[in-house]
Structure formats: C-alpha cells, structure tokens
C-alpha cells in the first residue's frame, strides 16, 4: 500500500480524522497528477512507526498442555548488538515501567517470562533496519551510513521488547557503525502517546468501560469463542478471549513451535474475530475514539513535518524519526488513515511517512506506506 498526498491533507488527518474520506479522494487525485514526475521530488524527512519483533506470549492459554518456551529462544544474535541508553523525554533517568513489572509475574513453561523479545524477533527487526538501509542509503543517499545523533530521533514505549527491537533495527540500518551515543527517549506509562492510553485519557476510559467484557457477548463472537473453547477443552470459568488465542498462535507459529491443532484449524476465525473485537472496542471506528487513541501520535507526526518544512527550525538536520509502538497502535492508526486491510499487523510491521519537496514548484508532499509495500 502506498499513498501520496499534499502536506495539508496529512494535517487534516492529524487534526480531523473524520474527514479521511475527503482527504483520501484528494490523495488519489494528487497521485495521478505528479507521480510520473517522481524524480523531481527530493526526500526531506522519514518517520517510521513500527511494531516490535516477535516475542513470547503475554500470558498462556489456560489449558493443561502448554507450549515450552526455552531460554535459548531469547539468545541475542551478534549482528544485532548496538549500545544505547534510555532517558525520559527531558533527558533524565529512564522512567519506571509498570508493564514490565506485570510481565515478570508470568513465567511460561520452559522458564522465560511473558512478553520478551526473542531471537526471531531480533532478526525481524534487524531485517527491517536492513530494508530501511536499502531504501535510504543504497537506493538514494539520504541517510548517513553511520548513526549520527543529529540526524536520528528515537522514541519508544517504555517496554523492554520495544527498546530491544529498536536496538536491532538500528543495528541493521547502520550496520553497528555510529558517531556519537544512541539515545532512546521514552515516557511515563500514564502519559504515553505511542499506544491508546486508557490511564491518561479519562474520556477514552469512560467510552471503553465495559467494552472488553461486553465484546464477548456479541453475536458471532460469543458463538465462535464458545465453540473453540469447547474444542480445546477449556473450562468456561477460565478467562479467554480472541486476543489471547491470537497472541499465542501467532507467537507459536513464528517460532515453529507445536501449536494446539484446534488453534491451527481455526486460525482464520481467530484472526477475524480478533479484528471484529478490536473494531467493536474502537466503537466501530468512531471519530472520537480514534482521535483519542492515535490523535496525539498523529499530531506529533504532523508537527515533525511542520518543523522539517520550516527553514529556521533547530531540528532541520533531523532526517529520520523512529517510533517503537505496538499492534494496538497500528490498528487504529491505519483505520484513521483509511488504509486498514482487516489483517492483524504482523511482528515488525511498520507505517512509514516520507516528506518530499518538489524541486521546481517547491510544493511539499507526503508518501505513506505500510509494511514496506509501496
């Protein structure tokens, strides 16, 4: 998927998500107008919002037969090593992470904890970095071949798998070469903008109250879940939803681990009902809910574009901005942009926003792509 637009259209999306249909119609008209003259466009800024690499499940499915997650699945490939430091948004100490506290409470069969980046996930992120290297160093000489702090800004959620995913991406992008320290900034969980923040936004919390419970009662969703639970022999009192089933089957399959035959047989149903559940929680793509879920992130993306267009900006030298996020970030983001394909974002999926200026007309344009598809 690739979409072109004048900068003003992205601004419309950032501030008024409800106007996306009008905006997308303009995108298509713009594409036919100038895409044939692509060589006249000069790249000025790249922003990448990506999901972390493959990980261990967030919690196991409550059934007698458990998949074994051995510590060898977490070994760090040598080529992904790259030193970095983590600070808060002001350059102070790394904030405390309540999510990591929660993950440490769950030990999976085999001895590893929940939600940890695996060797497979590290390699996925390294390969994403290599893809960005081919796009912005080899095909065009946009980024420096070594990491330079003045050119790259990096923000991540304060979760270890995201920080480590970012490390692997940078190692693949810069092939472990740097001039100056790598700093990843992060925020307190309560004010984070890289995922829908139910702690900070009281209105979002109010609108979503009860949604996680009531979604299990929706026609179709409840019937399919009951059938799969019975096929797997899961007690009706155990807490199970389609998000849990999808999380486990995706994690098991990407690591070539033996999955429950029922999960494999119902994979398409599980993914479809997970998407249905997410859309229900998002109030069927309600304008207000989408604005609260990803509006702050879209605003940040828009502000970065405005600064790049300003010749007096102090961040003019910045060429690449990385945001390490999650699947629950990408789904509402893609819906808000009108480009959601009704498939769950895979590990290491990315939304890339490129800013261009036409060499002759001096007009500014953005190009959006998802998961490297142009």
Tokens at 70, concatenated: 């051995």
**What CA–CA distance (Å, rounded) separates 157 from 140?**
30
Q: Which active-site residues does the annotation give?
A: 52, 327
Q: Which of 343, 240, 331 is nearest to 294 (CA)?
A: 331
* Separation in Å, CA 329 to CA 127, 231, 242, 350: 21, 32, 18, 11
Q: Which of 321, 12, 56 is nearest to 194 (CA)?
A: 321
* H helices present in the chain, as ranges: 7-15, 20-34, 98-103, 119-133, 160-174, 202-208, 211-214, 221-232, 242-254, 261-265, 267-281, 287-309, 327-336
Q: Is 231 left (phi over 0), alpha (psi -120 to 50) or beta?
A: alpha
- The residues near 112 (Cβ < 8 Å, ≥ 6 apart) are 56, 69, 70, 71, 73, 74
Tokens at 88, concatenated: 């808060």
Tokens at 301, concatenated: 């993306």
Q: Which of 44, 46, 47 is nearest to 311 (CA)?
A: 44
As a 3-state breakdown, the chain gives helix, strand, coil percent values, each rounded to 5, of 45, 15, 35
Tokens at 73, concatenated: 């699945």
- The residues near 214 (Cβ < 8 Å, ≥ 6 apart) are none
Q: Is 170 helix (H, G, I), strand (E, B) or coil?
A: helix
- Order of strands, edge to edge, in the sheet holding 85-88? 2-6, 364-370, 350-358, 41-51, 320-325, 152-156, 183-186, 85-88
Which residue do the tokens 């486990």 mark? 248
């Amino acid at each position: 998927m690739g979409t072109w637009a004048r900068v003003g259209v992205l601004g419309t999306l950032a501030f008024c998500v409800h106007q996306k249909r009008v905006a997308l119609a303009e995108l298509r008209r713009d594409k036919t107008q100038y895409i044939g003259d692509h060589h006249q466009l000069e790249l000025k800024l790249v922003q990448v919002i990506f999901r972390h690499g493959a990980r261990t499940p967030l919690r196991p499915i409550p059934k007698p037969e458990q998949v074994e997650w051995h510590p060898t699945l977490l070994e760090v490939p040598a080529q992904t090593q790259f030193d970095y430091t983590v600070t808060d948004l002001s350059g102070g100490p790394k904030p405390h992470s309540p999510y990591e506290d929660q993950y440490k409470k769950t030990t999976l069969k085999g001895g590893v904890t929940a939600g940890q980046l695996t060797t497979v996930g590290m390699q996925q992120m390294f390969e994403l970095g290599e893809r960005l290297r081919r796009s912005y160093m080899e095909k065009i000489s946009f980024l420096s071949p070594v990491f330079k702090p003045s050119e790259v800004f990096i923000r991540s959620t304060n979760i270890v798998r995201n920080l480590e995913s970012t490390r692997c991406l940078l190692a693949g992008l810069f092939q472990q070469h740097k001039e100056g320290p790598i700093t990843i900034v992060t925020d307190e969980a309560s004010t984070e903008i890289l995922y829908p923040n139910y702690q900070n936004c009281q209105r979002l919390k109010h609108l979503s109250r009860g949604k996680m419970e009531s979604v299990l009662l929706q026609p179709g969703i409840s019937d399919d879940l009951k059938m799969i639970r019975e096929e797997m022999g899961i007690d009706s009192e155990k807490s199970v939803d389609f998000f849990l089933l999808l999380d486990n089957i995706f994690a098991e399959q990407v690591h070539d681990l033996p999955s429950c035959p029922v999960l494999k047989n119902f994979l398409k149903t599980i993914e479809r009902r997970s998407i249905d559940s997410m859309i229900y929680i998002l109030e069927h793509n309600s304008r207000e809910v989408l604005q609260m879920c990803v509006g702050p992130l879209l605003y940040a993306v828009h502000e970065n574009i405005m600064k790049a267009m300003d010749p007096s900006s102090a961040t003019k030298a910045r060429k690449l901005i990385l945001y390490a996020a999650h699947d629950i970030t990408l789904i509402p983001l893609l819906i808000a942009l009108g480009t959601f394909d009704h498939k769950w974002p895979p590990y290491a999926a990315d939304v890339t926003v490129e800013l261009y200026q036409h060499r002759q007309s001096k007009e500014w344009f953005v190009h959006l792509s998802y998961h490297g598809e142009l």
